[in-house]
Amino acid sequence: MGARENVLVVPRERLFAGEEWTGFRDTGLEQLLSRVRGHYRFRPRREVEEDPTEPQIIPYVVFRHEDRYFLTHRLRRSSERRLRHLYSLGVGGHINPEDVAGAADPVEAGLRREWEEEVVYSGRFSTRLIGAINDQSTPVGRVHVGLIFLVEGDRPEISIREVDKLAGALFELEAMRSYYLDMESWSQLIFDYLTKVPVA
């Protein structure tokens, strides 16, 4: 993490409008997005990493080609110490001030930058918001809220850009089950959702 990195946050009471929920949610997503866009600000990351009152908003991309999903594995050099060695059913990251230069939508711009930074993919793809995560069960979860986007690609050739930090491969959900206990908590929530509510 950069010593002076600023990240997008939203005051918790504004984000949930007084009706906070926990876990994975697939309803009320447009209202949640609207509150993010209407109430965000940037704060130094070092100040909010332990502050649950203004959660950091994380666009999180789940890639699918046909019936296979991209599972990644954080390696020893991963920048997030608390998640090292865990498996992830997607890639995601913080939204920074430079993402909204030129009045770009902060969520869409942050999502696109993170996608381009993390993976190499030359196929066509579509993107849609399928859920949100508010996970209070871990120290990482308490200070982040995830916006979960499904990216559907027309070809399977996808690879990790920073191979010293991450590894990745495509799996069918059932084949991914053996990694479940080693997944980070968000990925477990997403896996549970995808296996219970098949996403067309």
Give me the amino acid identity at 27.
T
d(CA 68, CA 54): 35
d(CA 182, CA 184): 7
First to last CA, the chain: 36
| 129: its two tokens | 């918001």
69 forms beta bridges with: 64, 171
- Look-up of token digits 């498996």: 87
d(CA 146, CA 155): 26
Tell me the pLDDT tens digit for each residue of 41-54. Answer: 999 999 999 999 99
pTM to 2 decimal places: 0.90
- Domains in the chain, CATH or no CATH each: 6-196 (3.90.79.10)
pLDDT in tens, the chain (200 residues): 455 899 999 999 999 998 999 999 999 999 999 999 999 999 999 999 999 999 999 999 999 999 999 999 877 654 545 544 789 998 888 999 988 877 678 999 999 998 999 999 999 999 999 999 999 988 888 999 999 999 999 999 999 998 888 889 999 999 999 999 999 999 999 999 999 977 77
Strand locations in the chain (E): 6-9, 23-25, 41-44, 56-65, 68-74, 87-88, 91-92, 119-121, 125-134, 144-153, 158-160, 166-172
* Contact in structure between 86 and 183 (CB atoms under 8 Å): yes
